[in-house]
Amino acid sequence: MGHVKVDIAKSDRSYAVKYALNDAAGVRSLLRDRHRISSARFRGDTAASDILIDLHSAINSAGLTERQTEAIAWVYGVDLTQKEAAAIMGVLRQTVAKLADEAVDKIVAVYQRWDYGEVMCEYSEEGAAA
């Protein structure tokens, strides 16, 4: 007689996050969590790929200045603090915050033009999107 190994606690180790892409808080959250979402596409999650493709398109369509692009690249792309990004960029931390906020607002405007609502991602305990 065999036995089956069933993970009955799997649902206790996962959670879902909604990203409202028509407001700044939702876009900031998506930018912050995009590494987790990115890891899911390598496991075949096509929804994660779609979310990232749309995010990339929104960033490219937002008409960001070079400095705004640099600020979000350091803060959200490399996951530096605003203070660390400011040191690299040769500006004040407040300037990085302002540039990143302006960039996020422009990205939100793109999602609003696209009439994009919200997207949902599920994460496991290990931190990977599903």
pLDDT of the chain, 130 residues: tens digit per residue: 455 555 445 445 566 788 999 999 999 999 999 988 888 777 778 888 899 999 999 999 999 999 999 999 999 999 999 999 999 999 999 999 999 999 999 999 999 999 988 988 876 655 445 4
pLDDT at 70 (0 to 100): 98
Q: How many structural domains is the chain composed of?
A: 1
Task: Assess if residue 8 is contained within a domain.
Answer: no
Task: Assess if residue 38 is contained within a domain.
Answer: yes
Question: Domain range for residue 78?
Answer: 14-124
pLDDT at 101 (0 to 100): 98
Q: What is the DSSP letter of 18?
A: E
The single residue listed with the structure tokens 């590494």 is 35
What's the CATH number where 116 sits?
Answer: 1.20.140.160
Cβ pair 99, 71 in contact under 8 A: yes
Q: What is the number of other CB atoms lying within 10 angstroms of the CB of residue 63? A: 10
pLDDT at 67 (0 to 100): 98
Task: Assess if residue 1 is contained within a domain.
Answer: no
pLDDT at 125 (0 to 100): 56
pLDDT at 104 (0 to 100): 98
Task: Assess if residue 120 is contained within a domain.
Answer: yes
Task: Assess if residue 27 is contained within a domain.
Answer: yes
CA distances (Å), origin 28, targets 10, 21, 128: 28, 9, 18
pLDDT at 12 (0 to 100): 52
pLDDT at 127 (0 to 100): 45
